Structure 1
Amino acid sequence: MAAVVAPVAALGLLLAACGGGTSSSGSSGLQDAGTQQVKTSDINPQPLDKIKDGGDFKWPVDQLPDNWNYNEVDGTVADGAYMDGAILPYPFPQNADASVGVDPSYLTSAEVISTDPQVVELKINPKAKWSNGRQFSWEDYAAQANVLNGKNPAYQVSGTTGYEDIAKVEKGTDDQDVKITFAKKFAEWKSLFSPLYPKELNADPDTFNKAWAAKPLITAGPFKVKNIDATGKTVVFEKDPNWWGPKPKLDTVTYKVVERAALPDAFANGQIDFYNLNNDINAFKRAQADPNAVVRQSNNPDYTHVTFNGASGAILADKDLRVAIMKGIDTVAISKAILGQMQKDTTPIGNHLYLKGSKTYEDNSGPYKYNADAAKAELDKLGWKMSGDLRAKDGKQLKLRLVIPSSTPISQQTGQIMQSELKAIGVGLDIQAVPSTEFFKNYVNVGNFDLTLFRWLSNSFPIGGSKGIYYLDPKNINQNYGRIGDDKLNQLLDTAAQELDDTKRAADINAADKEIWALGHQLPIFQSPGAFAVRKTVGNFGSPGYANTPYDYTKIGFVK
């Protein structure tokens, strides 16, 4: 599974853009932090007999997917993944505490039946059928594995992690018995096949890349597609009468693109039933004051970071220069400025692969923490000498371009704090705000930046979710947008991926994280406070912790 990105604001991590926030550029004048204790999840849990039958749940999104095939490079976005959870199979759902389950609607069992070689056996629920009437079979798993192993570059896949380690997928005792044999051990095998697609989608490159660009053609979930209005930027899902699992309470779910600045008004006007506060203190305060809203907060697997462009020929191609720049950015000040009024814990993140809330999280940032004097000394040593207000070397000024999505105040605020901090060590920072719709496609994905800010939405699988971000493969960038890495890091990630012992794997993953820091790959800043404004009448929905892949659409509804 690739990582999801959110423009800051993910198979593992959702790409998301840096959204929300105040327009203040400083870190002074902080009020008391939010007093709410961080929870594993905060969803107003209700027994189903307390939830009304029927209703339309109105869900705001930043964008409709450019492709409804989440595994295609243009489809791997957070909003698309959230929608997929209603209409596609997620055999291995994540729980709020980052543990992973097995959905009995899709699989009656899932077991490792051999460790050398590693063989996984999946038994498909015989009731499971696609919307075209065809029963699920081992061939669906085989087709997806064959496409996502990365061997045929004509398939524009967003990630190959785990699938590239599969030797073969075979029929077991019958068509609903799947035998998966791994050529290399892959500990996070439950990160695979979520979502699962029908074999028809994976039939050939043209179908995989383009056939689902406008709409999903075959579904298999509690809901099905009722209408997609690309012009009105609205999608409606309705209850699928052929669904064989627990019946959902809602009749419909309506997704509508709403600009982030317009979210509070849309909520107040009844046009949406919740919204992500996106680390925005103004939105946070307004939600607290709204009589129809409750603010729900939990340990959210979502963090803001700086990605550096280390591609050959880029100004930051030099690892030592990247590390020096990192030491000139005060993540403590940024975290306090953004989070200080929303929660007590404003400690920056010290790990790229484990987030706070995970029992295996370690802060590995020690040697790279903010130290302006050290940053200046290292820049001097690298030959970047002060020349007026900025440093220069061989007649070239040390001036960097930070690309951010427009209409995302937190990105603007974070960028302005960084601009001030870097100026103090003699580094110039130009902030270029670009249209949100073009941010990933025309800038991040193609390396058109020196630095950029966005959010990674993480998941329960630190290798399955993040390997594609840090692994350097000249043939496939995956989500390593900064083109940074080396053989040592690749080997550490491979070792962690193949370790089946949980304790040893955690140690391996932390060893890989230390190498990510040493490479100046990217700079984690802060983990989101996971704050959502939710209508008070909504049950079984809010701030779900890790239980957003997928959301449990069968339980969401309005309280009686």
Structure 2
Amino acid sequence: MSRRKWAALIAPVAAAAMLLSACGGSSDGGGDKGVQGGAGKGAGNQDINAMDVSKLKDGGEFKWPLDSLPDNWNYNELDGTVDDGVRILYSIMPHLWLADAGNNVQMNPNYLQSAEITSPDPEVITYKINPQAKWSTGRAISWEDFDATFKALNGTNDKYTVSATTGYEDIEKVEKGANDQEVKVTFKKKFAEWKALFDPLYPKELNSDPETFNSGWVDGPKITAGPFKIGTIDKTGQLVTVVRDPAWWGPKPKLDKITFRVVDRSALADALANGSIDWYKIGSSVDNYQRAKTTKGAVIRQAPGNQYNHITFNGAPGSILADPKLRVALMKGLDQVKFVKGILGPIVQNPTPLGNHFFLQGTAAYQDNASAVKYDQAAAKADLDALGWKMDGQFRKKDGKQLNIRFVSTAGNPISEQIVKLTQAQLKEIGVNVVVDAEPVDKFFKDFVNTGNFDMTGFGWSSNPFPIGGSKAIYYLDPKSTGQNYGHVGSPELNQKLDEASAELDDAKRTADLQEIDKMVWQEGHHLPLYQVPGAVAIRSTVANFGARGFADVDYTKIGFVA
């Protein structure tokens, strides 16, 4: 499994683990108290207007806004790991494990009867598939689907452009058990977060060859197995609909249809007011928060967010930021407090920067490890001088070359613009010239982030319950594959520590290992987390079982409208 990225610095797997226990939560519309930040009380709650499905209307259309349509409907392919895409996918594809509001995962009985460690050494996991579970072709989901996934994602065939090999590279073999619906997965090296694997599960047909894996699902999914199925994909109109699948064997969805439509962030509040959409993420937007408070028929629901915004640095060989000392010097010139207070201050009480790459605020494991890049303009200037970047007029130069840093951002995005301007102003104070390159959101990941076409860039990561399974590909430096390490930043020592943590079955020891790894990540100047995005949403008051979900997964069968 990999982290999902999203076109952040707006308002697209840091994995948050060991969260506080779930507790109830509600909202009266927010009022003047603002919204919850990541470090606020009530971490682990959700606010979704929970209701028994028997009290909801049968049918209806739920209108869901997106930033962009998926570039690839294969989540495991490099272009497919975008948050908007996975929101659609989990309504139509097998999701084997479901996170609750406390980010604890539970087996999804619609797909699995059981999944457990049946041998500790070597580690063997035995899955028993729900015999009712079938693909849209009519074929039963079987051990062959697991085997094909393993073979595509284990890294042995570099023609598969995978987003991550984490966990799959540690598997020795996948075998048929007592029947086609029993799967035996044997590891050659222990992998503690095995529940992160095979999720979402894809049919063997997708993983059969690199060409199909890489591009066969670019225009849409070919085979599904969920409570909904694809109705329409309209690239011109920038919308996707999913409709009830009559072949679904699980609880019948309350909705007839979900319409996913691309809506500019600046137009979200108007779209909710005129009925074009039924909800939107408030995120970091003061304007969208203020508009939500006055939108007729809408309420604000809130819970801690499971996403964070950050600035990523490109350390690839030949890039201007290839030297980790230069990257760290720039980080020292950026005051996280100015970002978080300048953006979240008007809507979040006591907003605080994020100081960890693996654990989010509001989790038992969270601690601030950012001391290596603590804001210090004098130290940043001294570091730049020592690296040979001397002041020459307004900006610094070295060997006649000016220190110009190209910041690739998303165009037409007010929060992105705020963060870019703050970055530009702060780095100017230490003699660094930030050149802004604002690109359309539909090209941002595919043509710039995924290809390493930037010096600095900003987007967001969505959390999941697996710190290693969700994060290893971001920090692992593999000369043969980018994975999700878009800036090519890392070291052999960091790789070794990540491998060791992956195999540590003791939760407490693995958490301690990750804290040490996090300190190494800061020292490498990999990326600068800015703040945890508030989880508040504006939503039509008649919507039930959906809203500010905190760390929980969405149950698409329960979303509906109050009768």
TM, length-normalised to structure 1: 0.94
Which one is further off, 189-198 or 442-451?
442-451
Q: What's the Cα RMSD here?
A: 1.6
Q: Distance in 2 between matches of 1:395 and 1:208?
A: 47
Given that 2:326 and 2:384 are in contact with CA atoms closer than 8 Å, whether structure 1 keeps it comes out as yes
Find the residue that maps to 1:358 and give its secondary structure: coil
Q: Which residue of 1 aligns with 2:487?
A: 482
Distance 1:148 1:94 in 2: 23
Query: Please, which of 172, 184, 206 is the counterpart of residue 189 of structure 2?
Result: 184
What is the identity, as a one-letter code, of the residue corresponding to 1:423?
K
Matches within 5 A, 1:61-460: 61-460=66-465
2:556 aligned to which of 548, 553, 557? 553
SS of 1:463's equivalent?
A: coil
2:442 and 2:35 map into 1 onto residues whose CA distance is 36
- Count of residue correspondences: 542
Contact 2:35 2:302 in 1 (8 A): no
The equivalent residue for 1:34 is 34
Confirm or deny: 8 A CA contact 1:327 1:372 kept in the other structure: yes
Question: How far off is 1:278 after superposition?
Answer: 3.0
Q: 1:515 aligns with which of 513, 520, 523?
A: 520
Residues 12 and 464 of structure 1 are in contact (CA less than 8 Å); yes or no, is this contact kept in structure 2? no
CA distance in 2, matches of 1:41, 1:129: 32
Q: Deviations over 1:442-468 (max 9, x none)?
A: 211122211111111121111111111
Identify the residue that residue 7 of structure 1 maps to in structure 2. Answer: 7
Task: Give, in whole Å, the separation in 2 of the partners of 1:381 and 1:229.
Answer: 55
Shifted more, 32-41 versus 229-238: the winner is 32-41
Q: Which residue of 2 aligns with 1:18?
A: none
- Larger deviation: 331-340 or 254-263? 254-263
What is the letter of the counterpart of residue 556 of structure 1? I
Structure 2: runs of 5 or more not aligned: 17-30
Q: Is the 8 A contact 1:33 1:341 kept in 2?
A: no
1:13 Cα deviation (Å)? 6.5
Give the conservation status (yes or no) of the 8 Å contact 2:71–2:79.
yes
Secondary structure at 1:491 match in 2: helix
Residues of 2 paired with 1:240 and 1:115: CA distance? 39
1:538 aligns with 2:543: yes
In the aligned structure 1, how far is the partner of 2:263 from the partner of 2:237? 11
Deviations 1:135-156 (A, max 9, x none): 1111111111111111111222
1:52·1:558 contact (CA, 8 Å) conserved in 2? Answer: yes
Distance of 1:154 and 1:397 partners within structure 2: 39
Separation in structure 2 between the aligned mates of residue 248 and residue 215 of structure 1, nearest angstrom: 22
Cα–Cα, structure 1 residues 418 and 214, in superposed 2: closer, same or farther, change >3 Å? same
Assess if the C-alpha contact under 8 Å between 1:98 and 1:358 holds in 2.
Answer: no
**Cα distance change, pair 460–406 in 1 and its aligned pair in 2 (3 A):** same
Between the aligned partners of 1:211 and 1:137, the Cα distance in structure 2 is: 21
| 8 A Cα contact 1:32 1:340, kept in partner | no
How far residue 50 of structure 1 moved from its aligned partner, in angstroms, is: 2.1
User: Within 1, Cα distance between the matches of 2:217 and 2:424?
Assistant: 41
Give the counterpart letter for 1:72 in structure 2: E
Aligned equivalent of 2:28: none
Question: What's the offset of the Cα at 1:188?
Answer: 0.8
Following superposition, the deviation at residue 346 of structure 1 comes to 1.2
Contact 1:138–1:171 at 8 Å: present in 2 too? yes
Q: Which deviates further from its counterpart, 390-399 or 106-115?
A: 390-399
Question: Does the 8 A contact of 1:34 with 1:340 survive in 2?
Answer: no
Give a deviation string over 1:82-101, Cα, whole Å, max 9, x none.
00111100111122211111
Task: Supply the AA of the counterpart residue of 1:491.
Answer: Q
Range that drifts further, 244-253 or 2-11: 2-11
Query: Which of the residues 505, 509, 512 maps onto 2:510?
Result: 505
2:4 maps to amino acid? V
CA contact (8 A) 1:71 1:158 kept: yes
Partner of 2:27: none
Residue 418 of structure 1 aligns with an amino acid whose one-letter code is T
1:345 Cα offset (Å): 3.7
**Alpha-carbon distance between aligned partners in 1 of 2:436 and 2:528, rounded to the nearest angstrom:** 17
Q: CA deviation at 1:291?
A: 2.2
1:525 aligns with 2:502: no
Runs of 4+ in 1 over 3 A off after TM superposition: 9-14, 35-39
Shift of 1:75: 1.6
Partner of 1:74: helix, strand, or coil?
helix
| Deviation at residue 399 of structure 1 after TM alignment | 2.0
Q: Take 2:327 and 2:471, find their aligned partners in 1: how far apart are those partners?
A: 21
The residue type paired with residue 342 of structure 1 is I
Quote the offset at 1:38 in angstroms: 4.8
Secondary structure in 2 matching 1:307: strand
CA distance in 1, matches of 2:213, 2:525: 35
Displacement, 1:293? 1.1
Partner of 2:87: helix, strand, or coil? helix
Contact 2:79 2:445 in 1 (8 A): no
Contact 2:5 2:83 in 1 (8 A): yes
Opposite residue 525 of structure 1, the aligned amino acid is L
CA 1:35–1:533 in 2, change beyond 3 Å: closer, same or farther?
closer
Conserved? CA contact 1:2–1:13, under 8 Å: no
* Equivalent of residue 60 in structure 2, options 37, 40, 55: 55
Measured in 2, the distance between the counterparts of 1:435 and 1:232 equals 17
Distance 1:394 1:440 in 2: 33
Cα shift at 1:161? 0.8
CA distance in 2, matches of 1:78, 1:376: 38
Unaligned runs of 5+ in 1: 15-30
Moved more, 436-445 or 117-126: 436-445
Is 527-536 or 373-382 further displaced after alignment? 373-382
Deviation at 1:300, TM superposition (A): 1.2
Cα distance between partner residues in 1 of 2:446 and 2:219: 17
1:159 is displaced (CA, Å) by 1.2
Aligned to 1:27: none
Letter in 2 for 1:321: L
Alpha-carbon distance change, 110 to 345 in structure 1, aligned in 2, over 3 angstroms = farther
Q: Are 1:299 and 1:545, in contact at CA under 8 Å, matched by a contact in 2?
A: yes
Of all paired residues, the percent bearing the same amino acid is 55
How far off its partner does 1:476 sit? 0.4
**Alignment partners' CA distance in 2, 1:441 and 1:295:** 33
SS of the residue aligned with 2:420?
A: helix
